[in-house]
Amino acid sequence: GQNIDQPTEMTATEGAIVQINCTYQTSGFNGLFWYQQHAGEAPTFLSYNVLDGLEEKGRFSSFLSRSKGYSYLLLKELQMKDSASYLCAVRDNSNYQLIWGAGTKLIIKP
Amino acid sequence: EAQVTQNPRYLITVTGKKLTVTCSQNMNHEYMSWYRQDPGLGLRQIYYSMNVEVTDKGDVPEGYKVSRKEKRNFPLILESPSPNQTSLYFCASSLSPQPSADTQYFGPGTRLTVL
């Protein structure tokens, strides 16, 4: 079956670094996305990985290992505005639709 | 401004009363999709459309209908709403339905309550 796992909630301190993990088991793989979603708002795109390795974009980086079915989102120099849910989504090979994890709620403390 | 719009943003209705949630995008995107989001379950796809007059069922299509008569609009229809359809609904679009780094753009969401 199709399954994407993320921790439900994480807490971190302002200025620190946090890593949010995502593991997936899907019938096929054609790319992995990370989105940020503030409470009550729409998801917004953060990153895309299709090949193994690290993609860096400012304070945010995303890593992918296809052989392990594993990705992580790394957030550096945390700011209060980073308090949000982070959604991992995998594009299925069969119909190219996105399969979504339940999201990780990140709480930033001063 | 490039955007996806949804209306209404909030709706409280009663069981059995037909309703339509509109979705419109001004980016000439081919692909459009409807999701519902419930606590602890993440985004679940209801229906999607790869192009005009082409629609397909997602993971949770029961109780919903859609149409794609023109590229910019993709309305979601609930013929006979029930309380288990109480949820937060998002419409999304992207330029191409084909695999790429192309991201989906989301509308602001419609919070529906069915009593």
Question: Residue A97 has what pLDDT?
Answer: 86
Across the interface, whether the CB atoms of A40 and B56 are under 8 A apart is answered no
Of B40, B41, B48, the CB nearest to A97: B48
Give the minimum alpha-carbon distance from B82 to chain A in angstroms, rounded to a whole number.
22
The bridge status of strand A9-13 relative to strand A104-109 is parallel
Give the closest residue to B109 by CA, choosing from B84, B91, B94, B86.
B91
CB atoms within 10 A of CB B93: 25
Residue B98's pLDDT is: 67
Percent of chain A with pLDDT over 70: 99
B97 has a pLDDT exceeding 90: no
Do B106 and A50 count as a contact with CB atoms less than 8 A apart?
A: no
Nearest beta carbon to residue B99 from set A31, A45, A103: A31
As beta bridge partners, residue A64 has A53, A71
- Residues A47, A91, A70, A51, CA torsion sign: negative
- What pLDDT does A100 receive? 93
Q: For chain A, how are helix, strand and coil distributed in percent, rounded to 5?
A: 5, 55, 40
| pLDDT tier, B103 (very low <50, low <70, confident <90, very high otherwise) | confident
Kindly report the nearest CA distance between residue B40 and chain A, in angstroms: 6
Note the pLDDT of residue B41: 86
What would the pLDDT profile of A37-80 be if each residue is shown by its tens digit?
999 899 999 999 999 999 999 999 999 999 999 999 999 999 99
d(CA B110, CA B32) in angstroms, rounded, equals: 16
* B26 or B42: which leads in pLDDT: B26
The pLDDT assigned to B101 comes to 62
Which among B33, B31, B38, B42 is positioned nearest to B6, based on CA atoms?
Answer: B33
As beta bridge partners, residue A98 has A91
Residue A92 is which amino acid? D
Q: What was the pLDDT predicted at A29?
A: 87
Q: How far is A77 from chain B (nearest CA, A)?
A: 25
Q: How many CB pairs under 8 A join A and B?
A: 47
User: How sure is the predictor about B90, in pLDDT bands with cuts at 50, 70 and 90?
Assistant: very high
Residues of chain A with C-beta less than 8 angstroms from the C-beta of B101: 31, 48, 50
Task: Give mean pLDDT, residues B36-63.
Answer: 93
Are A43 and B103 a contacting pair at CB < 8 A?
no
How sure is the predictor about A1, in pLDDT bands with cuts at 50, 70 and 90? low
Output the pLDDT for position A109: 96
The answer to whether A98 contacts B90, with C-beta atoms less than 8 Å apart, is no
| Residue in chain A lying closest to B104 (CA) | A45
Chain-wide mean pLDDT for chain B? 93
Distance from CA of A93 to the nearest CA of B (A): 9
